């Protein structure tokens, strides 16, 4: 939030409400094991110099990870996700111009390097 009390806006932020920013902050503090595992490997431009943000509010949802420069969202799914809910979320993110990659939590924990290779390849394709 800016010091003037308004929530920031940009090309990937349709309209951020205070609630979505507050929710994103809470989700950052309560990341799953798979999210923590992946974040350690994505943060600080560790993959091909791509800057990722975690728990980023986009299009009315909070994306697990987002690379704004590549217009790429990475979502991690666990047992609590339903196909219908994920499809609706993916459609909204794609309508906002993002490509969405989905991985199961187990895939991240068991094969992080494979997941990272897929993410890196998509970043390279989307950044040209």
Q: Domain range holding 64?
A: 18-127
The pLDDT assigned to 24 comes to 62
Cβ atoms 7, 25 nearer than 8 A: no
CATH code for the domain in which residue 90 is found: 3.40.960.10
Q: Is residue 8 part of a domain?
A: no
Q: 68 falls in which pLDDT band (50, 70, 90)?
A: very high
Q: Which two structure tokens, joined as six digits, stand for 21?
A: 């920013």
Q: Is residue 106 part of a domain?
A: yes
Mean pLDDT of 5-9: 42
Q: For the chain, what is the mean pLDDT?
A: 84
Q: 18 falls in which pLDDT band (50, 70, 90)?
A: low
**Nearest CA to 72 among 93, 46, 88, 45?**
93
pTM: 0.80
DSSP secondary structure string for all residues of 69-114: TTTEEEEEE-TT--HHHHHHHHHHHHHTT-EEEEEEHHHHHH-HHH
User: 10 in helix, strand or coil?
Assistant: strand
């Amino acid at each position: 939030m800016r010091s003037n009390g308004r929530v920031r806006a940009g090309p990937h932020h349709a309209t951020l409400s205070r609630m979505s920013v507050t929710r994103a902050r809470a989700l950052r503090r309560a990341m799953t094991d798979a999210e923590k595992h992946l974040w350690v490997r994505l943060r600080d431009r560790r993959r091909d110099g791509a800057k990722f943000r975690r728990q980023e509010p986009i299009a009315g949802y909070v994306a697990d990870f987002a690379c704004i420069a590549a217009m790429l969202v990475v979502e991690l799914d666990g047992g609590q996700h339903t196909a219908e809910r994920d499809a609706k979320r993916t459609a909204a993110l794609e309508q906002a111009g993002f490509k969405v990659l989905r991985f199961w939590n187990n895939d991240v924990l068991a094969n992080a390097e494979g997941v990272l290779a897929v993410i890196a390849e998509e970043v390279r394709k989307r950044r040209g």
